[in-house]
Amino acid sequence: MIPFESIKAFYEANLPEAGWKGAHLIAPCPFCGRQKKEKPGRLVVLLNPESYFRGHFRCLNDCVPSGFHSHFARLMDIPGAEVPGFDPDDDAYALNQNYPSRHLGMELDKFASLMSAEQYAYFGRYGISEATLKQMRVGYNGRYLVYPYFQESGFAYAAHCVLPSREQDQFWHGDETFFTGEAAIFNAREIGRCDGGALFITTSEVNALILKEQGFPAIAVPAVDQIVNLRPERLARIEHLFLLVPNTPEARLAAREFAVVVGFKARILSWPSHLKRGEDLIHLAADPAVETPKAVQQMIRLSKAFSPFSAPEKEHNRFVTQLDKEKGKALPGLATGFAKMDRHLDGLRGINIMGGPPKAGKSCFFMQISSEVARRKVPVIYYDFENGRQKIYMRTLVRLSRLAEKQIRADRLNPEESKALDQALTEFQSLLTYFRVVNDRQLTPDTMRRHIDFIRHETRKDELLIVVDSLHKLPFKDLSERRTGIDSWLRQLESIRDEHNACFLVISELSRGKGGGYGEKPDLSSFKESGDIEYSADNALVLMPDWDPMAPTANQQRKSILWMVASREASPGPVAQYELDFPYWRFKEV
């Protein structure tokens, strides 16, 4: 930021006849003589060190466009080395356009000549004077108001034609190249005049004219979704950008997206509380009960530099709130229903990735944990790409009722079994409020975020478990991108974990060793196409069977060991041994 004292000394040196009036330096205008004005006006420079517009000058005769000290230096032919903030290596931004030989000069003169008392009265409702309209060369074609879009070349190659009081009825006149993309800026030459100063960015030409009438430098884009066409490089020399968009969530979101790009110099102005949704500066200026200059000044005073970070107070409150929620809890994380596992992990937290050989029971293990978490009225979203919704529901019912699937399907149950099934069905129905299975083969991270928002809104619960079965079957563009696709999904899961404080259980495949087996003591290299698993996983686990899942003997004890191969907080090594209670699809900790 250019030091205020340098700007003050610059104006005092180059306006020797000036005198002070409060925070304003006032001098005979040095430019009126060049314009052959009969009565030279006064040049007023705002030199309030607390103002965002310090160094802004304006001739009260409007003999030249107003601006900041760099623009003043250009008009006065002052060498760059004498200008505060001058950088000899800084090249001016050049619009990547070829200017055609034909421009709208003569047509604009004709349109300006058609302006009558009726049109001037229309603008007068918003406090816009005839002098400002003539300076901006606003015209009328017999039905539509004509707003010329002058480029840095000094010529207009396109004009926006808008029906008064009905902005939706509009069309463009002239060269299409100059009413699309970054060329579609009303009063674009104002950008260069604001080097080292401040600038308003608004929507619709009338808003820009209202600001200009009040002495604020302003540009406008035709619609709010075109703010993104403004290149940050084009605005690099401006110290403060004030974004004034319509009073709608969509407009504010567009302003925030632009502010993220340009950074701290952006300030999004908030409207007074009485302004209705969809209204903007036009409505404020048309209200006789509102003093528009004071209202705008108040909005500027209340504005804050855009920050990509949460406010410290918000972060502190969020941390303390989470701390209060965890007080008195036996486990910081979610209880799995497995005592040894809960003790080892302190409950489920963060991203937990578990691998295992084919048919080792990974899905069954996670289904059991999921239903146990949901029974505690913690919402669970189960993204399934392996088993299908019906199989997951059936295995859950089998586990709850302790009746084999063949028994349930045969429908030949004794009274005790029928009672067990009825109780299980009742519990299962209650469970489904918190246990949601998704089989979306077109799943995207954004869809996942919407699912999270919905289930939290529906259940009014903060805690959340997300199960992914499995990592290697998440949707990718094509198989050639599988490795990079897995890494990309892991990045997204990290982001969702941090944004939503969500807990993940993710199934991963294992790689075969040299002999075609899976080894006895697994480690991180055991994960297939592990990519960023070692960096993304808060806990990396492997469920390793003590039996051969591919063997035809089904009556042996099906015991498996859960290994912790890497963790941010827990110790590596065996967690516990688990025995599958077949055919009830239930694991028991040994």
Q: How far apart are CA 217 and CA 219, in angstroms?
A: 7
Check if the beta carbon of residue 436 is closer than 8 Å to that of residue 380. Answer: yes
From residue 122, alpha-carbon distances to 115, 125, 134, 286, 294 in Å are 11, 6, 15, 10, 22
DSSP 8-state symbol, 57: E
435 and 540 part of one domain: yes
Total domains in the fold of the chain: 3
Whether residue 139 is contained in a domain is answered as yes
pLDDT digits (tens, 9 = 90+) for 191-201: 999 999 999 99
> What does residue 580 show for φ and ψ, rounded to 5 degrees?
-80, 120
pTM: 0.62
What is the predicted pLDDT for the residue at 479? Answer: 47
Strand, coil or helix: what is 368?
helix
> Does residue 328 sit within a domain?
no
Structure confidence by residue, pLDDT tens digits, 135-164: 999 999 999 999 999 998 899 999 999 999
Q: Which of 214, 210, 157, 212 is nearest to 180 (CA)?
A: 157
Residue 165's pLDDT is: 79
What domain range includes position 472? 339-589
Q: Whose CA is closest to 189, among 250, 256, 228, 135?
A: 135
Q: What is the tens place of the pLDDT at every residue in 211-252? A: 999 999 999 999 998 998 899 999 999 999 999 999 999 999
Residue 549 pLDDT more than 90? no
**Residue 524's pLDDT band (boundaries 50, 70, 90)?**
confident
Residue 533 placed within a domain: yes
Residue 175: is its pLDDT beyond 90?
A: yes
Last residue of a domain, one of 33, 50, 82: 82
| Cross-strand bridge partners of residue 560 | 545, 578
Q: Does 257 share its domain with 210?
A: yes
The C-alpha atoms of residue 472 and residue 486 are separated, in whole angstroms, by 7
User: Is residue 87's pLDDT more than 90?
Assistant: no
Q: Is residue 44 part of a domain?
A: yes
Q: Find all residues with CB under 8 Å of 191, minimum gap 6, and list them.
A: 185, 199, 219, 234, 235, 238
- Read off the pLDDT of each residue in 522-550 and give the average, rounded to a whole number: 79
Share of the chain above pLDDT 70, in %: 94
Within 10 angstroms of residue 83's Cβ, the number of other Cβ atoms is 22
Q: Is the pLDDT of residue 482 over 80?
A: no
Same domain, 35 and 179: no
* C-beta atoms surrounding 484 within 10 Å: 12
Rounded CA separation 441/428 (Å):
25
**What CATH code is carried by the domain that includes residue 190?**
3.40.1360.10
Same domain assignment for residues 345 and 376: yes
- Regarding whether 68 and 149 lie in a shared domain, the answer is no
Query: Residue type at 455?
Result: I
> Is 204 contained in some domain?
yes
Assigned domain for 281 exists = yes
Q: Do residues 547 and 507 both lie within one domain?
A: yes
CATH number for position 570:
3.40.50.300
Q: Are residues 69 and 152 in the same domain?
A: no
Residue 98 lies in a domain: no
Q: Is 312 within the bounds of a domain? A: no
- Which of residues 50, 82, 114 is at a domain's end? 82
- 520 with 387, same domain: the answer is yes
Domain boundary among the residues 255, 279, 302 is at 302
In this structure, are 366 and 277 located in the same domain?
no
Q: Do residues 239 and 280 share a domain? A: yes
Same domain? For 146 and 235 the reply is yes
The answer to whether residues 214 and 67 belong to one domain is no
